[in-house]
Amino acid sequence: MTFTKVHWNPELIKRYDLAGPRYTSYPTAPQFVEGYPQSEVDAAIGRSNQSGRPLSLYLHIPFCDTICYYCGCNKVVTANKKRARPYLDALKLEIELRASQLDHSRPVHQLHWGGGTPTYISDEEKRELMAHTRNHFQLLDDDSGEYSIEIHPGGLTPETLGVLREIGFNRLSMGVQDFNPAVQQAVNRFNSVEEVRALSERAKAEGFHSLSMDLIYGLPLQTRASVNATLAQVIELSPERLSLFNYAHLPHLFKSQKQMDASQLPEPQEKLQMLADAIETLQNAGYVYIGMDHFAKPDDPLAIAQEQGLLQRNFQGYATHGNCDLIAMGVSAISAIDNIFVQNYKDIASYQEAFSNQQPASFKGLTLTWDDQLRQAVISQLICHFQLDFAVFEHAWNIDFQSYFADALAELEPMIGDGLITRTEQGLQVSSDGRLLIRRICMAFDAYLKVPQAVKYSRIL
């Protein structure tokens, strides 16, 4: 297989590096409405059962022992491990509720525990939660599903990986962020190279299918040299997948970010150069740029799925298993069921109270219109595969693509002139220059951005 390398064009990046959505969904979360009717959720679940589609399950475990100052996740920071028990009891009730509504014969192709720090709970609680899930959903027993969990390597024992493998996980996502001691001190996030190496070696010994490592660029005290040093250490550890996230400093939204010294943040130009260096380094090391901060080895299922036109994108990022309805459980979790999005309460007290009163935990949602679903398909195609065939959409959606999207195609004209994307009578093809700016290209097809709104997005790069 041949893979396209992305090209760093400083002039075009400066021109198009605006703020915009990350498109883990379309429409994006700011469009969700409060007081979403339960009747819409029930109807969507009914349609979902009729479809017979496989399922993707997401469980949110919000607890952390300590706070990472940069973090924007929905989390509860406490050293009191007993805080988890009432929450896990509520989560088990939600598992029972959702399972009772869904056809039990539908297989679970994807499973993901996110947080917070999912490994915060005890090994016995991990076994209990997975067993409860297995009792109520049709989990795969042949290790063919994509069952992943996020882990914080700081203080995590290699023996815990044995427990995770035992209960059915076959993929790990490890938040490394940075190995530089000064940077770790500035963001209150600690994990040594030795800890990560021990966990990486244990993951291979336990037979995990894939190890993904997350890094962040743009943190306080980071320099090009320090990021390059961390990257060299990560490449030596040889994870199958790697994500390189842009740190967005939004202290008005995330209070913990106020604990960092903003004067220590790298200048925008330095930050961009960190990304440029990293992309070149990773591609030279043999990694494929999947898109939107994600890299993978050429033989990883993520790269293969993209090459075969099968890659998908959902609230957890890129995925190899498509055509699944996402059932997300836990505080703040967002489900995608048939043609709706529905989100649970964002605060843990409201979430737990809902189940103690035998009430649904959802408070926000959105029913996608036909136009929403069409634009969702267009954006997903571009963000996963960097090309689009007009005829495929015309056949599937019974439209004349160039007429229906005349405004969007007109908005793309400057980008076409700058070489980010090529338009022919047959379709659209994103160039190697344009792949890094795919979010900006997708924004042309976002109908909600055409209406003024008080939403602040992070910058594209």
Please tell me whether residues 12 and 122 are part of one structural domain.
no
pLDDT at 362: 85
**304, 326, 348 - which closes a domain:** 326
The whole-number mean pLDDT for each consecutive block of 10 residues of the chain, a chain of 461 residues, reads 80 88 91 94 96 97 94 88 95 95 96 95 97 98 95 93 98 96 96 96 96 96 97 97 92 90 93 94 96 93 92 85 90 96 94 84 94 97 96 98 98 97 97 94 95 75 77
Q: Which CA distances in Å does 55 have to 109, 330, 351?
A: 6, 17, 23
Q: Which alpha helices (H) appear in 17-104, and where do they start and end?
A: 38-51, 84-101
Tell me which residue range forms the domain holding 402: 1-27+370-461
Number of domains in the chain: 2
CB 152 within 8 A of CB 117: yes
CATH code assigned at 89: 3.80.30.20
Please tell me whether residues 86 and 50 are part of one structural domain.
yes
Please tell me whether residues 294 and 398 are part of one structural domain.
no
pLDDT at 101: 96
Is residue 339 in a domain?
A: no
Is residue 15 in a domain?
A: yes
Which secondary-structure segment (H or E) carries 196?
helix 193-206
CB 431 within 8 A of CB 5: no
Tokens of 155: 């203080």
Q: Compute the half-sphere exposure of residue 237: CA atoms within 13 Å on the CB side of its CA.
A: 29
**308, 326, 344 - which closes a domain:** 326
Rounded distance between C-alpha atoms, residue 174 and residue 296, angstroms: 14
Please tell me whether residues 14 and 59 are part of one structural domain.
no
Rounded distance between C-alpha atoms, residue 145 and residue 107, angstroms: 9
Is residue 137 in a domain?
A: yes
Is residue 383 in a domain?
A: yes
Rounded distance between C-alpha atoms, residue 56 and residue 145, angstroms: 10
* Virtual torsion, Cα 410, 415, 419, 420, nearest 10 deg: -110
Tokens of 214: 């997350």
Q: Which CA distances in Å does 70 have to 94, 181, 212, 220?
A: 30, 16, 20, 9
Rounded distance between C-alpha atoms, residue 136 and residue 55, angstroms: 13
3-state secondary structure of 19: strand
Please tell me whether residues 403 and 314 are part of one structural domain.
no
Tokens of 223: 């320099």
> Closest by alpha carbon to 271, among 461, 54, 33, 51?
461
CB 306 within 8 A of CB 290: yes
Which secondary-structure segment (H or E) carries 126?
helix 123-136
For tokens 């400066």, name the residue.
14
Please tell me whether residues 313 and 424 are part of one structural domain.
no
CB 212 within 8 A of CB 241: yes
CATH code assigned at 435: 1.10.10.920
Pairing of strands 340-344, 334-337: antiparallel
Please tell me whether residues 289 and 429 are part of one structural domain.
no
3-state secondary structure of 27: coil
The pTM score is 0.94
Is residue 200 in a domain?
A: yes
Please tell me whether residues 5 and 121 are part of one structural domain.
no
Tokens of 293: 């901060």
Please tell me whether residues 1 and 57 are part of one structural domain.
no
Please tell me whether residues 13 and 35 are part of one structural domain.
no
Is residue 359 in a domain?
A: no
**326, 359, 390 - which closes a domain:** 326
pLDDT at 1: 54
Crossing angle between the packed helical segments 224-237 and 268-284, to the nearest 10 degrees: 30
Pairing of strands 107-115, 146-151: parallel
Please tell me whether residues 127 and 192 are part of one structural domain.
yes
Is residue 72 in a domain?
A: yes
Task: Fill in the amino acid letter for 68.
Answer: C
Is residue 188 in a domain?
A: yes
Please tell me whether residues 154 and 290 are part of one structural domain.
yes
